[in-house]
Chains A and B, each alone.
Chain A
Amino acid sequence: MGIEGSANKVGVGLVRYTPPSESSSSSDGDGGSGESRGRGTYETLSNPRKTYISPAGQGFLPRETAWHHQKHVPALAKLALEEAGLSLGDLDAVCFTQGPGMGAPLQSCAIAARTIAQLAGVPMVAVNHCVGHIEMGRAVTGWGDPVVLYVSGGNTQVICYMAGRYRIFGETIDIAVGNCLDRFARAVGLPNDPAPGYNIEVAARKYAAECAAAGTEPELFPLPYSVKGMDMSLGGILSQLTRDGVKAMKDPDSPVTVEQLCYALQETVFAMLIEVTERAMAHSGAKDILIVGGVGCNKHLQHMMGVMCSERGGRVFGMDSRFAIDNGAMIAQAGILAFQHGTTTPMEATTVTQRFRTDTVDAIWRQ
């Protein structure tokens, strides 16, 4: 069982490993994570989750988010077992997100995980949230060694596996891409429901479609493009948008609309993300790209990445929302790999940590 709750989503997922001899026809149906690499199959049996949507114009705060998770996690755990047709006695380990993330929500889920582990009488496995995204991505695609672009509310990293660890080749030097999108959306009054980034995507698509219909090239509101080696800076874009962009949008004499700003934001930020990903590909020699994290759901980002990738003869997998977005099964997936390689976390070490860098985890299952 995996329990996730590091940000505004709380989820419980069950993953089962079937050794090679028993793995008959792959069960690729709803949960859809049939990974078979000649060494058995990992299968997501259930993966329910709940999202805390903060009031309009506001981000989610630790306390309210923790309350939300506390309220839902017992029912989610029950539901996960029910959907899989299993009971507590069938569990072998309970995996939980140790970090990174918001303290109080992480804490709430860790307590739930301890309780369930004790009830079931099984060991616990602490999991790094980012590694959870990566391992779920690898399990779904079956790709051995992809470049991972991890883009979410708190993270913007390009990751490659090297010498025993997931190394961060490039990252933002200031704010994360999801944070940049969310704060812009709030500044221009786009709703938080279902997600601020989604509403930006829709607005940008609308503008692009209008231009296409009119046979004109879309305007590109000028924003600072800032790539430094494999790192990038997004703070300048956000301040330019919230200052000059909003001013131009409100100016009745200016043709700039909110849709145009959304369009320029996506074009500029995504071009930066793809440029650093391409650099990491050139450096590492890897051909395949996995996009994980909430922003990875963005269809336009996936499209742009696809164009770059096909030019390099590679493949890209923008994960669908079941796996790109935080969920319990991804924690179970990373946890089960560690567990199978002999890792368990003693109860007294099942504390959580807000900062937990991807490259500090020993990926023993890959060595």
Chain B
Amino acid sequence: MTTPDAAPPLPGFSLGAQGAEGRIWYGEYLGRPAVAKERFSKAYRHRKLDEMLTKQRTVAEARAFHRMGDIGVRAPKVYLTDVASGLVVMERLPGVTARQAIIEAHAAGDATRVEAVARAIGDMVARVHAAGFVHGDLTTSNMIVLAPEGGGEAAGGGSGAAAAAAGEAAAAAEAPPGGSASGAPRLALIDFGLSQRAKASQLLEERGVDLYVMERAFTSTHATCPEAFDATMEAYAGSGAWSAAKGPASAQSRDGTLSHLQRVRARGRKRMAFG
């Protein structure tokens, strides 16, 4: 799997990154910039478990585009799915990861931009949650800050560090001076392998855990700018997504979720860590 000569899943695709779950390939599909995500089998785990997980995650990934489309959250359009081989070919979204955007804005001392990106994250996550879904892996690497309309490199790009650097350069060039001149950043969500429609009885708990995972991702990846997560949560709570009178999209449901987040946090703190 680390072999550089691993065969591309489609002709003309080149290896972008070796993620935890699989390989990310970049190329073109029917003339459009595309990403091929390949979840290969893991030799360390039992065959049946491996097949089940690969299938589950590939299906979840492929479904996300329509699910998200229905609720107005941008996600990559799916071009091709092959469940048996764990392959999903999708639209390559132009932009940089939210992780990169926050780190760069923070490094440049652009607090306004950090806050704008963070707020956009909070609002997007609220919309996903209000619709009864949980993402399952809410890290800032799984969110793309879309390049402004009419240009911009696709996130990732050719291969490895060079591509990342090119992406950064493109982002830097595109970023409006002061960071917020062209209005709120537009975000997209990716990496839906662990996403699911939460069971009604588990909704608050699942959302609480989803937020907890996000909080921990922020505190480990963006340890030096804690204000980012605060802004995210403020926007989450204040999102227009919570406008229904009752049900999962209500303010009441949001409040229940936030108190579940407290509970999940408390579980973490209470856990006695010995042995």
B interface residues, Cβ below 8 angstroms from A: 1-2, 18-21, 42-49, 52-53, 136-139, 141, 194, 209-210, 212-214, 216-217, 220-221, 223-224, 264, 267-275
**Residue A343, interface by CB 8 Å:** no
B275 and A228 form a contact (CB under 8 A):
no
Inter-chain pairs besides A129-B274, A355-B272, 11 sampled, C-beta below 8 Å: A99-B274, A102-B274, A163-B223, A173-B264, A176-B271, A220-B46, A220-B49, A228-B209, A271-B49, A282-B18, A283-B20
Residue-wise, chain A 221-232 has the 8 Å CB interface mask toward B (1 for contact) of 000010111110
A304 and B44 form a contact (CB under 8 A):
yes
A interface residues, Cβ below 8 angstroms from B: 6-8, 99-102, 129-130, 152-155, 162-163, 167-174, 176, 178-179, 217-218, 220, 225, 227-231, 233, 267-268, 271, 274-275, 278-279, 281-283, 293-294, 304-305, 307-308, 311-313, 326, 354-358
A355 and B212 form a contact (CB under 8 A):
no
Q: Complex Cα distance A357/B274, Å? A: 10
A229 and B137 form a contact (CB under 8 A):
yes
Q: Complex Cα distance A301/B224, Å? A: 35
Q: Complex Cα distance A328/B235, Å? A: 48
**B217: A residues at CB distance < 8 A:** 229-230
Q: Known: A220-B48, A228-B136, A228-B210. Contact between A282 and B19, CB under 8 A? A: yes
- Among A173, A227, A278, A354, the most chain B Cβ lie within 10 Å of the Cβ of A173
Q: Known: A153-B275, A173-B209. Contact between A167 and B223, CB under 8 A? A: yes
List 6 A-B pairs, Cβ < 8 Å.
Answer: A6-B275, A100-B274, A173-B268, A225-B49, A229-B216, A267-B49
Q: Complex Cα distance A294/B275, Å? A: 7
**A294: B residues at CB distance < 8 A:** 275
**A172: B residues at CB distance < 8 A:** 271
Determine which of A100, A167, A229 lies in contact with B138 in the assembled complex, contact meaning CB atoms within 8 Å. Answer: A229
Q: What 4 pairs across the A-B complex have the smallest Cβ distances?
A: A153-B275, A101-B274, A152-B275, A229-B213
A218 and B20 form a contact (CB under 8 A):
no
B272 and A217 form a contact (CB under 8 A):
no
**A102: B residues at CB distance < 8 A:** 272, 274
Q: Which residue of B lies closest to A325 (CB)?
A: B275
B20 and A275 form a contact (CB under 8 A):
yes
A154 and B43 form a contact (CB under 8 A):
no
Q: Complex Cα distance A22/B223, Å? A: 41
A231 and B212 form a contact (CB under 8 A):
yes
Q: Which residue of B lies closest to A219 (CB)?
A: B48
Q: Known: A229-B139, A311-B43, A355-B269. Contact between A169 and B220, CB under 8 A? A: yes
**A279: B residues at CB distance < 8 A:** 20-21
**B209: A residues at CB distance < 8 A:** 173, 228, 231, 233
**A6: B residues at CB distance < 8 A:** 274-275
Q: Known: A220-B48, A311-B43. Contact between A225 and B273, CB under 8 A? A: no
A163 and B20 form a contact (CB under 8 A):
no
**B270: A residues at CB distance < 8 A:** 355
B47 and A217 form a contact (CB under 8 A):
yes
B273 and A357 form a contact (CB under 8 A):
yes
Q: Which residue of B lies closest to A311 (CB)?
A: B1
